[in-house]
Every structure is written in C-alpha cells, then in structure tokens.
Structure 1
Amino acid sequence: MEVLTTNIGALEAYQCGLSHQLSEIQKRMKVHQPKLAKVCFALYDSRDHLLRSYADSSSLSLRMAHYEAPLSSLPYLKSCLESRTEAYLSELSDLHPSPHVRALLGEGFHSSVAMPIFAEQRFCGFLFLNSHYPDAFTQSDIKALKPYLKMLEVAIFSEYQLVHLLVEKLSKLIARSPVYQRESFSHKQRVAAYTNMIALALADHYDVDDEFVEHLTLFAQYHDIGKIRLSPELLCKQQVLTQDEVNQLRQHIIFGEEIVEQLIAELNAVDHPSAILLHDVISYHYEFLDGSGYPRQLQADEIPLGARIVCVANIFDAMTTHKPYKQGCSVPYALLELEKMVAMNKLDARCVDALRNHQHQLKSILERYPERDPMEGLY
C-alpha cells in the first residue's frame, strides 16, 4: 500500500464511503419517490446493545448526527426487528421527544420508514428512509423501491463485511499471542474510548461522519498489533528499557504495517476507505507534527487525522497508566504534559483540547477498563 502523504487525501478517500454510496442511490430513488429526502443507516452494537448513527446520505449533516441509544429504549424499532418487517412512522412528532427526534424535527423531517438489515442472518442495524412530509410512505411505495433497497442492502453488507473481516482477522492474530492479549487488553480498550471521545469532539470541525468515527474507534484497538511479533520478555520486562530495547519495541510499527498490508491485500481492499484508515492508525500513530516522530518523520498535515487522534489517546493512556518501573500520573498532570507537547508542536492542539474539555468522561473510562496489577508480570 502506498504511504498516504496528506491528511486531506485520507479524508477525501473516506468521502467515498458508505454515506457517499447512500447519497448516490438516493438520487435515483427520488425519481420514483420525490418525497424521499434522506437515506440513513444506524449500526447495531451487539456487545452493548446500542443503536448508533453510522451513514447518512444528507450533505447537510445534523448537529445531533452523532447519536446512540439502547435498542430497548426504542420499542417501535424493537418490534420492527422482531417481526423482520418495515415500520412506518407517519409523524415523527408522535415519538418520544429524544434529542435525536428533536434534531430530525428541527431539520424539517416528519415521516420515516425503518427496515432491519441482516448480514448472513446477523442483525447489523436499521435502514431509514426519511421525508419532510407527514405520512410520505406507503407499502406500495416501498414495493416500487425494492430494487433500490436491494442496492442499499448490498452496499451496507459490503461495508459491514469488510470491516468485520478485518477486525476478525486481527482478533484471531491476537488470540494466538496470549502474552500480548493479556498485556494489551485494557490498554487498547481505553485507547479506543479516548479515540472515540476525541473524534466525536472534532467531527464537526473536520466534517467527518459517523462512519469515520465508528471505524476509527474500532481500529484504534489494534494500533500496536505489531507487538505480537515481539518477544514476551520484551513486552513484559519490569525494568526500564535500554536504548536497544526501545529500538526493538519501535519495530512494532513496521511489523504492524506488514501485517495489515497483507490482510488488506488478501481482501482485495487496498483502495477502500476503511482499509486506508486502518493503515493510517497502524503506521502513523507515533508521528509528531514537528517531524520528530517515527518511523517516517512525517510533519503537520502529512499525518492523517485518524493517526493524530490515536497518537494523543495513546500517549494520554501511557501517562496515566502504572508500570513496574514508573508511577502513572494523575489526569490533570497528564493533560498539562500534553499541553507542553502541543506548545512544542508535537501534538494536535484540538485533540488535546477534546480530552481537557471532557475530563468528566476520563474517570469513567479508567474505571470501566482498569489496568492490570503490574506485579502479575503481564500488565
């Protein structure tokens, strides 16, 4: 895979993702159903039983676009899933006035059709057709749109399948390295949570959608996958590393890049936006804005946005985590140190600001994913 040399290039690649595909199909659907104003897909998180906004055909994204809710709190959707049939909402104002419903009404949407989507019998989320008109959709309308709905399902399934194949293959590699698996579990969960916090805070500024945020959060868990090729002795050493050992440890970036490039090639997905994002995270999360990072000494906008976010999340977690040879520092102290790195032109100021402005969430993340006792030898 060619090295991406500009952040703009990476974001442009992501604009060809699922949201773009939904937009193109919607244009064709409007010829048959002029009242159709938006097509969107909400992803189901089976681990936490949450429904999250994910892909949206609308070029005017809602300010409340980044939204999640327990499926159990949405009875009309739960019933729709159980019956495996579409649910018609003739007037959105009849629903419980959640923040998301209020945002939809504020953008002038009044009616909707929800359809459960399955990938090989696995429920993966809901497809929604939205209109600015009340009672805009009938069963005959949906029947007439069936060919386009099938196209939408194929687009969603293709995206879903690729991302989950990447994650599945990476997870299997980790499972074969029990030492790394134990050493990294809580760390990668916290880094993913911090990444999500930062990405959501920056989404509007950088005009990135929920698909980008979702995938970046998912891929952040595998930022140091190359460590599976390092020796257990190096991973679990309880003394300060020598310079030679530090150099060996830094090789995990190259190892991770080789692993991911092989997986992406096997899946024939070299140019896919999600594959590019995964490659960005693995390859560049130790690059600094002033060019002093590694392994390629990229500078400023040469470092993709996703990698800049994961870089800050990773460093923050390293600072606040205990090791056998060092005491983890407090959240305020870690934020102060990150601010110093911003002043030295090493870290993205907006990423650090996102952590500082959401300190109330940091404690809950640390409590949810506590670190292992360093005395176990596998921390």
Structure 2
Amino acid sequence: MNKYLILMILGLSIQGYTAFGQLTIETCQEKAKNNYPQIKQYGLIEQTEAYNLSNANKGYLPQVAINAKATYQSDVTELNGTKVVNNDQYQAYAELNQTVWDGGVIRSQKGNIKASGEMEKQSLEVELYTIKDRVNQLFFGILAVNELITQNDLLQKELQTNYDKVQAYIQNGVANQSDADIIKVEQLKTNQRKADLLANQKSYKEMLSAMIGDAIGMEDSLVKPDYITNHNNETLNNRPELNLFEAQSDFYTSQESIIKSGNRPKVGLFAQGAYGNPGLNMFEKGFTPYYIVGARLTWNLGGFYTQKNNLSKISINKQSVDVQRETFLYNTNLKISQQANELEKIKEQIRNDDEIIELRTRIKETAEVKVYNGTLTVTDLIREINAENTAIAEKVLHEIDLLLALYNLKNTTNN
C-alpha cells in the first residue's frame, strides 16, 4: 500500500486543462511540455538561425572597400636624367568586388548553419522528452491514491456494518462492549489512513499543477487510461535521441563541405575607381582620376596541407556519434525487454489477485458467521476483514502498476 505513497517527489514547472475538470495523461504531458521554461529556447534557436543565414546570404552582395595611402620612395624611374614621377606619391581609391563563384563556401556555410540549428532543436527535444516520465509518475501516483481512498471508504462502510451488527449482538447477549470497542478502534485507524491519503493526494496534485501550469483542485479528476486502448505491441524505437544523433552526423557532414569548398578556386569581378598622383599615366604630372575593371581568380593552396587531417578529425567525430547511437539502442532495447517482462509479471499478479480476493472474501464471510455463533472473536474477524481489504488494495495497485508499466514502455519507445 505504501509504495505509491513513497513513489513521487519529483519535478516542477509546466501548463493546461480539459473540459469539465477532467485531465488525461496526454493532456498533462503536452501542457507540461508547453509550460517548461526551456520551450522558449525554440524561438531563440530559430531567430539565431535566421540571422546567421541572412549574414551568409550577404556574402553574395557586392563588397565595397575604400582605401587611401601616401608613400615616399627612396628612388623612382628616371628618363634622360629626369624623374618620371615624384618620390612622394598619393592614392585614394574605392574598390567594388562581386563574387561570381566562391567554390561553394557560402552554400556550405548555410548548410552548416541549418545543421547546427537542427542539432540544437533536437537536443532541446531530448531535454523536453524527459518531462513525460515525470508527469507519468505523478499522474499514476495520484490515480493510485484515488483508488486507495475509494477502497478506504468501502472498508469504513464495512466496519460500520459490522459495528452495527455487534451492537445488536450485545443487546442479544451474544457479544460484549469490548467487541464493539475493537471495531471502533479499527474505524478510527481507517479514518487516520484516509487523512494521510488525502494529504498525499493534495501534495501530488499540487506538484502536477506546478508542472502543467494549471491549478488542479481536489474536485478535479484525472482520467484513468484504458489498458486495451493504449496497449501497443509495437516496440519500434521512435526516441528523439535518434533524431539528435542524425542531426549531429549531418552537422559534421556540413563541416566537411565547408573544408572542401574553402580549398576550391574562387572567381570574381572587380572595379576600382581612384584618384592619385601619379595616375595610371606616369608621365602625367599632378592628381588624376582613373579606373580599373577586371576579373580575378584566386586559389589558396595552403588549405590542402591540413585538409586531410581536418577531414580525419571530423570522421572521428562522426564515428563517435555512431558509437553513441549504438550504445543508446543497445541500452534502450534492454530496457524495452525488461519493461515488457514487467508487464507480463504484473498481468500474472492481477490474475492471482482475483483468486486471492475470492478466497479472502469467503474466509471473511465464514468468520462473520462464526462470530455470530460465538465460536470466533471479533479480533479474529477484524483480522480477516483487513486481510480481504489488503488483497483488494493490492489488486487496485497492481492495476495502476500495469498502466504505469505500459506508459513506461510507451515512453521508452516513444510510441
């Protein structure tokens, strides 16, 4: 009886609700996710990605540079003993460069930005996914307490019925006041247990309220899931971690593209307008304007020195991601197998519970007859009543256990 009362002391922070004061577990999970502070990170990731993509696209725009210089040369060209130009020279110019082909650098950068953004989003999905388990524990903990409160009420009614019978026995001289007192003590204990259960119910509802960001009153009810409807034999692994591994691998692939494109030749157009002394005509004295237009090919071969090592490092990172994926699948498959076995074990316990309850009820009814005939004490009857109540309570908890185990399996596989 106490395992569910010890079960939860977890989580806080999350939002939501359904009609007529009823909440399903799926609603709680969704509201908890939407209420989690980290959910705001989605918008920040998308904004950052948009800004970075915008910056990368600006690489296609014409690039303008303005330069000026003044120099003094120790020697200059002379013609027939006359200096062609002065030793002091001045130049101011603006240069316009337009990329025609950059070897795929900008395209690779954009691919890397998108891959990085996707990796951040999937990492956030993994973090948000852990909320499901916390909600499940609280949700089914509340259901368990609710069932125990219902069973406690039934026990109280049965004790009252037997108390009334004993009072009648006392009037007929078949029992004495101490027999009634024994039942009264048990009634008081049952009232104490109910007070504890109500306190636990209130505590768990407050924790779940904090997670979903919506107040759950004592009058509000949680909808108990139907096992048959929610049972799914599919064990296909749809966990967000697998998407994260894929995003990480894509990110490293985009880095490979950046390295390769950076080592390709670049082609561009340029135009330069200048004003200087001398101008292009060295024989013309004074400041003159001029311009130059043309095409430019650049190819920095220095990147090839380190390309092999850089690609090898990225390959190692991708292999590391593959190892992490394999390890995750291995551990998850083990967990799926354990949880599937747990489901079968609980179903077998429930089948035995039905027979145990039937036997306990029969024993209790026989004890009631014996008390009436004076061949059994009221203390013995109380023991049998408690034994039957315990058997019923264990079945109730096993049924909640079954649902929790099912949702644990669903959570492990994300189905």
Smaller-chain TM-score range?
under 0.3
- Length-normalised TM-score, structure 1: 0.23
Higher relative contact order (CA 8 A, sep 6+): 2
Larger radius of gyration: 2
